[in-house]
Amino acid sequence: IMSASLSLEGTQTVAYLGPPATFTHLAAMRKFGGSADYVSVNSIKDVFDEVERGRMRFGVVPIENSTEGVVNHTLDLFVDSPLLIYGEVMLEVSHHFLSKAQKLEEIKTVYSHPHALAQCRNWLETNLPSVNFAEEPSTARAAERCVDDPTAGAIASELAAQLYGLNILRSRIEDNINNFTRFLILSQKGAEPTGRDKTSIIVSAKDRVGALYDLIRPFSSHGISMTKIESRPTRRKVWEYLFYMDLEGHQDDDRLKKALAEVRSRCLMMKVLGSYSSHQ
């Protein structure tokens, strides 16, 4: 539904965590297709900045991985950002071993993002037990490192192999085949209701016994399913926490609207990050 409505609005400008051929780039292409104008930026904060300043209409950032957990930096940036969540993309992450070399025996150093290295740990220990490992800010940057070094290998995407002219020595080397990453679409405006929405909020609880229970009880009493909750330090006061929650429904739905009003009356701060179509 979202992709169809976007196609009626002309060329879209989309910032993503680069360089080209990162999994964030793949997620952006999955959502916006081949007709969008994509701009690669160097950090998650840069994605937020590009959209906040109006230079890009949309931004794409990672929020969580099924094996490595939540991307805390993304959660932290939402606290002070005026941006809204416009949509989400769920991408199956398949890691490939890339190199200019022809054989694994030629590899001396393996480059990749820390999460990718962790997700392929068993394969690496079995097949490349004596090589050096070097962390890079992205899987695509790791692929770049291999272009002029035939003793280097990278864990990256198939698109990275095509873009940087590398051989795929092994395919799908991730330890867990059910490896998915969830990405969020950022925008200055919210999405239209679709009838199958979710709502994301950030809440700060009062410092007292039972405070968290008081925050989540209204959702139960109004029949609202909470699909996710994460805690983060506020960084403003010691032992004070923010809670990130995903809830079923649109913020304008009657039941969720009533539940949110009750939560707002019980917390120090509540911020609705957006209501958007839930990935099916």
> Where in the sequence numbering do the catalytic residues fall?
181, 183
Q: Are 81 and 38 in contact (CB under 8 A)?
A: no
What's the rounded Cα separation, in Å, for the pair 156 and 219? 41
132-135/152-156 β-pairing: unpaired
Beta partners for residue 14, in sequence order = 38, 58
Per DSSP (E only), the strands in the chain are 13-17, 37-41, 58-65, 69-70, 84-92, 96-99, 109-112, 132-135, 152-156, 167-170, 180-187, 197-204, 226-233, 241-248, 269-277
What's the rounded Cα separation, in Å, for the pair 128 and 105? 8
